[in-house]
Structure 1
């Protein structure tokens, strides 16, 4: 089975949460923005799905995944489907639901991180909303970041199987999402994270374990891993960072 991932070229963004699950599972997949148009890829192929030309399962926005005849959008839905299909999800029904809850909350955090630099409108440039972004960044740094990170830390410490992973006794897609968020926040807010990190050692340890998984270590060292940049969700604007 080859999965087809549709996302914008040159961005880690929300697509990276999907890539991490695919890479951790050793799954065969294609980045459709890198597939030639004559082979069914490229931006025209993505647009055809978004315009409803490829059937009734119309995605609202990328990322979306083609799994055979199934088309899935929304990052938490995609990663849960992949995790539960590829062996990167808890086995118990209740734990599976909890992992989905974590992934959905991670998506909320990602949206808030994005809105730091685009608090007025996604169609406007950052330069068009700098005063509002500065105000939003202050609240995000001081209140929202510790609130979200404290929740993850509490989950790790409360896990009956131990504080190694968020749910159960093995790595799941929920852990991969937390890893990406942790890395993204460190990139976007290095000064703030330097202050906060000592209070969240369980998360820091989890991120190291994820990065040390053989498949993920190889992926993170490869050209397939797209670096954070100022066109993505986690952007480093020094004026928005602070202790």
Structure 2
């Protein structure tokens, strides 16, 4: 039975992290928002079990099971798609990495909507400029340096985040970096030399057969200014050297 992925059409968004796992594994799935339109997606949401209704897309239907939240969906799919370790400790570690990626995704979103998601970007542009400067100077280096360190110290080697083979966290780190390269090309170019492990991982993920085919297909929608990662040139201005981190997180 094919999986059913419910997410908004027209953007990659958080649903893209799930799509990459499904595409990498060659799993059969229907992307309901894209195949049937937003009206069908909204109608499906109204029919959800009120006791266990997901807060918002993405959510995934796997037979009789409905799973929401990107990291939770991937935790569910990982073992089925051979994209997670077999042992519980390993699965929890990959989930922890995924949740850290989710933290950075949320911060990337907040660079262009720092005040409220319900306001237009132009309504909060001054605040966005301040938020983006801190993000590019401090938060991007802090997060990506962490992943660089994890890759360098992974006892399993093989150029992946956990164990000796790729997991969904590797695919998600690829998507995160691709999104940051689109939204903040100058900031990412400044960091490139300090991220050899992350760069190598992203290159390796892009060459995986399922991912390579997906990236060349019309199913891979381009980044745009409606999604999480948005390229507003004024938010990617050239800055001086990064400031010291103001807090441990």
- Alignment TM-score > 0.5, same fold: yes
Q: Summarize deviations over 1:27-59 as a string: whole Å, max 9, x none.
A: 0000102334xxxxx4344324544x3323201
Q: Is 1:185 matched with 2:185?
A: no
Q: Summarize deviations over 1:80-127 as a string: whole Å, max 9, x none.
A: 211122111112221111000000111111000000000000000001
Describe how 1:200-219 pairs up with structure 2 within 5 A. Answer: 200-219=195-214
Q: 1:242 aligns with which of 212, 237, 241?
A: 237
The residue number in structure 2 matching 1:30 is: 30
SS at match of 1:137: helix
Structure 2: give runs of 5+ residues left out of the alignment: 239-249
- Distance, in Å, in 1 between the alignment partners of 2:62 and 2:158 is 33
The residue number in structure 2 matching 1:54 is: 48
Tell me if structure 2 keeps the 8 A contact 1:103–1:177: yes
Q: 1:158 aligns with which of 107, 129, 153?
A: 153
Q: Is 1:92 matched with 2:94?
A: no
Moved over 6 A (4+): none
The residue number in structure 2 matching 1:119 is: 114
SS at match of 2:203: helix
The residue number in structure 1 matching 2:221 is: 226
The residue number in structure 2 matching 1:12 is: 12
Q: Is 1:107 matched with 2:137?
A: no
Q: Summarize deviations over 1:173-202 as a string: whole Å, max 9, x none.
A: 000010000100000000111101110110
TM-score, normalization: structure 1? 0.94
- Distance, in Å, in 2 between the alignment partners of 1:141 and 1:222 is 31
- Distance, in Å, in 2 between the alignment partners of 1:148 and 1:194 is 16
- Distance, in Å, in 2 between the alignment partners of 1:46 and 1:72 is 15
Count the aligned residue pairs: 237
Tell me if structure 2 keeps the 8 A contact 1:80–1:100: yes
Deviation of 1:163 (Å): 5.3
Structure 1: give runs of 5+ residues left out of the alignment: 37-41
- Distance, in Å, in 1 between the alignment partners of 2:123 and 2:22 is 37
Q: 1:136 aligns with which of 131, 139, 144?
A: 131
